[in-house]
């Protein structure tokens, strides 16, 4: 192989030529730049606007590392509970607001005045009056009294009660309204003027009933039925005119809560807040929180120019870390670097860790080890491997430390827990394999928190409490990863070994259908799977992905299995009656049909790509030469697979395994030397045909693949001893055209025996 062939085997993906290739490169670079800028902006938004080192380095139950002196005079914030109680008391001190409806008073007095002036002696007037009273809900006995000679006097008394009630104000119920406030008065809006009315002077419906009964007894001491009639008339005619204004009252109470002074003390400039090695208490923490709040209140945005140098320094650190990480990916994980979706996934995971870190640092101070860096570590390790996971963990830990000002204890602890998660991720191939990482990560968290606490000199009770939280965080992070993995696999088209092992189950319906309807193809796929697994392992690919891809690479042959020689029960091929062009179309269709079946079965994108790429653009040489014999003008491109060519190590190995298995099977005497020669020529032929141009396979990889294939092929197709008396010799069973030339003389990389027409 010459220099040109060596160039095409360099480990990179070739872009399409011309403008389209340049456009794709620009588009990919633009997306990567946009992602970089977006992540940098997100990190900058998490920066605290004021220095937070006092709060960050002082934790309750831990000793202070240095003296802390007040830089200026500031007021102390009240404790949250005390402030809340004062705000509740202030809100209860607000008098509720009621509005007065004058129309209610008018209607009531008009009704009572009409009853007072009614003349029961007029014919029919008494009956009409009784009917009117019954419509008001007054009892029959009370109607009889009110329709009699004392009705006018009773109505006059009711009208006098109405004047008293409406002059002060009438509520439905006074006690429930008064129970919601501590104010001795209520505020009443009358015609736009709000006046204060003591609760004792206001009336409600129960007090109106009592007043009417008492007035009736005084006016009619010997006639209780008249007192009862007055009570019923007053209750039916006199209605509340005061309506509670909930929105207005709540607005006033909100103003009262806001007006409560949140400060209750003073710290003077240069006053010591806490001394070196002094154990921090809640009072110390309150002073530090007050310092931060007062500093933000006093400074505001006036000092934004002074913050620029510190902000630029942090931005520079983050940008440096991101550039370094991208450079590492470009050098050592080029497929990840070129795939914007994968970069987006890593960015989202890192941003989620930083977002949770913001909550932990600002709301749960002193528990920085609960920032879930291990979620990132375990997820990246399972999806992309341990090497990338280790670097991603280091970068994420540094980013969190830079953004939130965390020191060496956090970096040490998060790195320890992350390494534990990455180390246990190597054996995760089944869902139940997560139990070990769960235990190891929990222990690592507890150990890291305990060690960090011992360095800081924390009390034992604090250490035990935080270690317990660390165990909870360890279990929770692994559980979260188990929940996230299926979603991430689906959204970002990433395939894990867990999914591949599930797909490797030969009892899956599509594989059972392949076994029953195309048994030869099924056996061929199993053999190719063993070869692909060995080859992928030799070149550092994913052997499990290669094996599973081989299981499914020929599922497109199910519908027309009889057109493929490995599934034919007789030596007569169905293609003998077809034109070469028609045969080519039938054979070529199994790639498209296989991809369609894979989409219906919701197989991962990696396996769908393997089905489409495992033949590349190879030539179906048998049909091409047959067509040339009939028509010398036949075009070679009409007899090639449509592609695309393999673009990954696993798919390239699958193509080679597929070709060498069919070629080795066609050997009459498969001795080790002949098998080695066949494998060598197959690999050389694929390189000469340009089938490996777009894959990351190098010359060194080809040599490793060859040495991985040969032992398996030798074991599968070893020569067998000829026993005397066999019904037919091997020589007679060979096709006549194959007996005319030796295996070494055939170009087996592109042409197989007459019956082996589908594997080229």
Mean pLDDT of 452-464: 70
Q: How confident is the model at residue 646 (pLDDT cuts 50, 70, 90)?
A: very high
- By mean pLDDT, which of 25-29, 69-73, 162-166, 313-317 is the weakest? 25-29
Is residue 652 scored above 90 in pLDDT?
Answer: yes
Same domain, 442 and 473: yes
Residue 41 has pLDDT above 90, yes or no: no
- Would strands 185-190 and 193-198 be described as parallel, antiparallel, or unpaired? antiparallel
Query: Is 636 part of any domain?
Result: yes
- The region of weakest confidence among 259-263, 431-435, 514-518 is 431-435
Task: Indicate whether 277 and 351 sit together in one domain.
Answer: no
Domains in the chain, number = 4
CATH code for the domain in which residue 678 is found = 1.10.3210
Task: Give the number of other CB atoms < 10 A from CB of residue 95.
Answer: 19
pLDDT confidence of residue 528: 93
**Boundary of a domain, candidates 252, 285, 317:** 252
557 has a pLDDT exceeding 70: yes
Residue 734 inside a domain? The answer is: yes
**With bands split at pLDDT 50, 70 and 90, how would you rate the model's confidence at 125?**
low
In the chain, the percentage of residues whose pLDDT exceeds 70 is 83
- Do both 31 and 110 map to the same domain? no
303 versus 82: the higher-pLDDT residue is: 82
387 and 535 part of one domain: no
DSSP state of 640: B
Strand, coil or helix: 541: coil
Residue finishing a domain among 448, 464, 494: 494
Question: pLDDT digits over 197-211, tens only?
Answer: 888 888 888 888 888
pLDDT at 77: 77
Say which DSSP state 619 is in: B
pLDDT score of 124: 55
pLDDT band of residue 753 (cuts 50, 70, 90) is very low
Residue 737 has pLDDT above 50, yes or no: no
What are 98's strand-pairing partners?
A: 188, 244
Cα torsion at 671, 672, 676, 679 (round to 10°)? 60
User: Are 490 and 503 part of one and the same domain?
Assistant: no
pLDDT level of residue 759 (50, 70, 90 thresholds): very low
| pLDDT over 60 at 49, yes or no | no
- The more confidently predicted of residues 255 and 69 is 255
Whether residue 447 is found in the same domain as residue 509: no
What's the average model confidence in pLDDT over 121-145?
76
Tell me the range of 4-8, 237-241, 453-457, 480-484 where mean pLDDT is highest: 237-241
Q: Does 316 share its domain with 293? A: no
Residue 22: the pLDDT is 52
Rounded mean pLDDT of the chain? 78
Domain membership of residue 692 as a residue range: 499-722+729-745
Q: pLDDT tens for residues 656-705?
A: 999 998 888 878 778 888 889 989 999 999 999 888 888 888 889 999 99
pLDDT at 728: 45
Residue 753 within any structural domain of the chain? no
- Domain membership of residue 757 (yes or no) is no
- Contacts for 454 with CB less than 8 Å, ≥ 6 apart: 463
* Helix axis angle, 304-332 to 18-45, nearest 10°: 140
Residues 184 and 136 in one domain: yes
CA distance 117 to 343: 92
Q: How many CA atoms, within 13 angstroms, populate the side-chain half-sphere of residue 545?
A: 25
Residue 189 lies in a domain: yes
What are the pLDDT digits (tens) for 331-385?
A: 888 878 888 888 888 999 999 988 888 888 777 765 677 788 888 888 888 888 8
User: Percentage of residues in the chain with pLDDT exceeding 90?
Assistant: 8
758 found inside a domain: no
386-404 helix and 340-363 helix, angle to the nearest 10 degrees: 40
Q: Assign 740 a pLDDT band (cuts: 50, 70, 90).
A: very low
Q: Would the pLDDT of 746 be above 50?
A: no
Q: Is residue 760 part of a domain?
A: no
State the CB neighbour count (10 A cutoff) for residue 172. Answer: 14
What token pair was written down for 23? 């456009």
Q: Is 601's pLDDT higher than 50? A: yes
Could you tell me if residue 752 is inside a domain?
no
Domain identity same for 629 and 715: yes
E strand or H helix at 25: helix 18-45
pLDDT at 736 over 50: no
315 and 457 fall within a common domain:
yes
Asked if residue 469 and residue 333 are part of one domain, the reply reads: yes
543 and 564 inside one domain: yes
CB neighbour list of residue 294: distance below 8 Å, 6 or more residues apart: 74, 75
- 480-521 pLDDT, tens per residue? 888 888 788 777 777 777 788 888 888 899 999 989 888 888
Q: What is the pLDDT of residue 622?
A: 80
């Amino acid at each position: 192989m010459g220099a040109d062939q060596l160039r095409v085997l360099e480990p990179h993906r070739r872009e399409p030529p011309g403008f389209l290739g340049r456009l794709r490169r620009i588009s990919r670079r633009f997306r990567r730049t946009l992602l970089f800028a977006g992540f940098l902006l997100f990190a900058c938004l998490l920066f605290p606007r004021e220095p937070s080192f006092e709060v960050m380095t002082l934790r309750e139950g831990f000793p202070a590392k240095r003296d802390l002196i007040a830089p200026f005079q500031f007021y102390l914030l009240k404790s949250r509970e005390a402030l809340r109680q004062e705000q509740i008391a202030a809100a209860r001190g607000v008098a509720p607001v009621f509005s007065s409806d004058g129309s209610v008073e008018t209607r009531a007095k008009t009704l009572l005045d009409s009853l007072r002036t009614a003349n029961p002696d007029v014919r029919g007037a008494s009956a009409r009056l009784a009917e009117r009273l019954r419509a008001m809900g007054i009892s029959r006995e009370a109607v009889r009294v009110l329709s009699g000679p004392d009705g006018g006097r009773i109505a006059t008394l009711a009208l006098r009660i109405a004047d008293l009630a409406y002059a002060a104000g009438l509520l439905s119920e006074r006690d429930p309204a008064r129970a919601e406030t501590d104010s001795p008065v209520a505020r009443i809006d009358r015609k736009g003027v709000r006046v204060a009315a003591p609760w004792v002077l206001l009336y409600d419906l129960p007090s109106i009933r009592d007043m009417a009964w008492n007035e009736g007894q005084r006016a009619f001491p010997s006639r209780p039925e008249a007192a009862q009639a007055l009570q019923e008339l007053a209750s039916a005619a006199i209605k509340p005119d005061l309506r509670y204004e909930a929105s207005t009252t709540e607005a006033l109470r909100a103003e009262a809560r806001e007006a409560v002074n949140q400060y209750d003390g003073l710290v003077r400039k240069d006053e010591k807040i806490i001394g070196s090695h002094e154990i921090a208490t809640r009072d110390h923490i309150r002073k530090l929180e007050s310092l931060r709040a007062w500093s933000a209140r006093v400074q505001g945005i006036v000092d934004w120019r002074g913050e620029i140098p510190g902000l630029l320094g942090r931005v520079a650190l983050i940008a440096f870390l991101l550039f370094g990480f991208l450079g590492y990916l470009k050098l050592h994980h080029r497929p990840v670097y070129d795939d914007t979706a994968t970069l987006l996934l890593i960015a989202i995971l890192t941003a989620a860790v930083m977002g949770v870190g913001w909550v932990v640092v600002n709301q749960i101070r002193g528990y920085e080890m609960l920032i879930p860096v291990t979620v990132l570590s375990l997820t990246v390790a399972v999806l992309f491997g341990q090497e990338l996971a280790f670097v991603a963990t280091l970068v994420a830990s540094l980013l969190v430390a830079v953004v939130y000002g965390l020191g060496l204890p956090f970096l040490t602890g998060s790195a320890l827990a992350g390494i534990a998660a990455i180390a246990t991720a190597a054996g995760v191939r089944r869902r139940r394999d997560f139990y070990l990482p769960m235990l190891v990560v929990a222990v690592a968290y507890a150990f890291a928190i305990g060690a960090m606490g011992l360095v800081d000199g924390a009390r034992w009770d604090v250490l035990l409490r935080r270690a317990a939280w660390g165990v909870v965080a360890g279990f929770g992070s692994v559980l979260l990863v188990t929940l996230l993995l299926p979603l991430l696999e689906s959204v970002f088209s990433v395939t894990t070994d867990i999914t591949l092992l599930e797909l490797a189950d030969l009892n899956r319906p599509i594989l059972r259908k392949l076994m029953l309807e195309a048994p030869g193809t099924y056996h061929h796929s199993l053999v190719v799977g063993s070869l692909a697994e060995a080859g992928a392992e030799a070149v550092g690919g994913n052997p499990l992905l290669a094996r599973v891809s081989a299981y499914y690479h020929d599922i497109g042959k199910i519908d027309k299995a009889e057109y493929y020689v490995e599934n034919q029960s007789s030596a007569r091929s169905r293609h003998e009656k077809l034109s070469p062009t028609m045969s080519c179309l039938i054979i070529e269709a199994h790639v498209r049909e296989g991809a369609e079946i894979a989409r219906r079965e919701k197989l991962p994108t990696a396996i769908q790509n393997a089905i489409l790429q495992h033949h590349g653009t190879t030539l179906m040489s048998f049909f091409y030469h047959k067509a040339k014999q009939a028509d010398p003008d036949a075009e070679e491109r009409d007899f090639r697979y449509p592609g695309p060519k393999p673009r990954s190590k696993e798919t390239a190995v699958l193509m080679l395994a597929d070709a060498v298995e069919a070629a080795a099977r066609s050997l009459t005497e498969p001795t080790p030397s002949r098998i080695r020669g066949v494998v060598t020529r197959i690999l050389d032929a694929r390189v000469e045909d340009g089938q490996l141009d777009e894959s990351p396979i190098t010359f060194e990889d080809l040599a490793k693949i060859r040495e991985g294939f040969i032992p398996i092929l030798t074991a599968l197709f070893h020569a067998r001893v000829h026993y005397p008396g066999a019904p037919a010799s091997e020589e007679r069973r060979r096709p006549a055209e194959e007996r005319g030339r030796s295996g070494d003389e055939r170009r087996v990389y592109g042409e197989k025996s007459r019956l082996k027409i589908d594997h080229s």
